[in-house]
Amino acid sequence: MKTKLIALLALGLSAAFAALAQGTAFTYHGWLNDGGAPANGDYDLLFSVYDAEADGLSVAGPLLVSPVTVANGLFSARVDFGAGVFTGPSRWVEIRVRPVGVGEYALLTPRQELTSSPYSIFAGSAGTVTDGTVTANQLNTGGVAPAPGQFLSYNGGNLFWSDPGIALGEVWSVNGAKAYYNGGNVGIGTANPLENLTIAGVTSFNTGLKVTGSSINGTGLAPALMEAPGRVS
C-alpha cells in the first residue's frame, strides 16, 4: 500500500506558492492522491532547494515539515529556508514524502521551479534596504527639502535637488517667478570676469548697459551702498 501511495504522490502532487507578508517563509499548497482517491492523514515532507532542474547544487535544505495534514487530498505547508536563498538566480524545489514516521522517504520528480511568489521575499527587501530607512541625508542632499518644481539629479558624485534649467545645461536657477545665478562671476564680452558682473568691449557710453522703463522718474537701478574710489567711510 505504501509503495502504491508513494507512486501516486509523484503523479498527483501539484503546488502553488504564496509568500507571506513578512519574513522569509512561504506557503506550499498541493494535493495528494492515494489509489486514485484524495489522500487523508499526516505526512512528513522534506524540502530542498537546488540551482538546476536536474543535478545541480543544493542551495538549501533538506528542511523537514511535519506533520503535514492532508484532508480530502488538499494540504498546505509553511516552508522557511531563511535568508540568502532567493537572491535572484533560478531555483527549483525538491520534495521527499512519507506517512509520518513510516518507512523511507520517496523522491517526487521532477523538481518544481520556484517562481514569482517566493521571489517577492527578495523584492520586498530590495537588496537588504528596509522600508522607511532611506533618508535625505543618505541621498547626499544634506537634508534640504526640494523647492517646488525641483527634482533629484546626479552630478557624477552626489545626488542633489536641481532646477529643470540646470539639468538641461542652463545656468539659471528658479525661485518661484524669480530667476537667479550664484555660481560665480558673470561676464558679458569676456570669458574671465573678475567682478560679479563684468561687461567688456564697451566702445561708448550708450553701448554698455541700458536700462529702460515706463516712468521718466525711474532709473531701474536700486543701489545699496556706493562709494567713490578712494573714499574712506
Q: So what's the pLDDT on residue 38?
A: 83
CA nearest to 47, candidates 31, 58, 62: 62
Instruction: Specify the DSSP class assigned to residue 71.
Output: B
Q: Which of 7-21, 174-188, 197-211 has the lowest mean pLDDT?
A: 7-21
Look up the pTM and report it.
0.47
Q: Which three cell numbers stand for residue 23?
A: 519574513
Residue 122 is inside which H or E element, if any?
helix 116-125
**Cβ proximity of 139 and 159 under 8 Å:** yes
Binned at pLDDT 50, 70 and 90, residue 146 comes out as: confident
Same domain, 115 and 157: no
State the amino acid at position 91 in one-letter form.
Answer: R
Quick check: is 109 in a domain? yes
Expressed in percent and rounded to 5, the helix, strand and coil fractions of the chain are: 10, 35, 55
Q: 1 pLDDT exceeds 50?
A: no
Looking at residues 211-224, what average pLDDT do you find? 61
Bond before 67 cis per omega within 30 degrees: yes
In this predicted structure, what is the pLDDT of residue 217?
A: 62
Residue 145: inside a domain: no
Count structural domains, the chain: 2
Kindly tell me if the per-residue pLDDT of 36 is higher than 60.
Answer: yes
CATH of the domain at 17: 2.60.40
Range of the domain at 100: 2-125
Both 157 and 112 in one domain: the answer is no
Residues 111 and 36 in one domain: yes
pLDDT in tens, 60-111: 999 999 999 989 988 899 999 988 888 778 899 998 888 999 989 888 888 9
Residue 14 lies in a domain: yes
pLDDT > 70 in the chain, percent: 59
Is 144 within the bounds of a domain? no
| Residue 106 amino acid letter | A
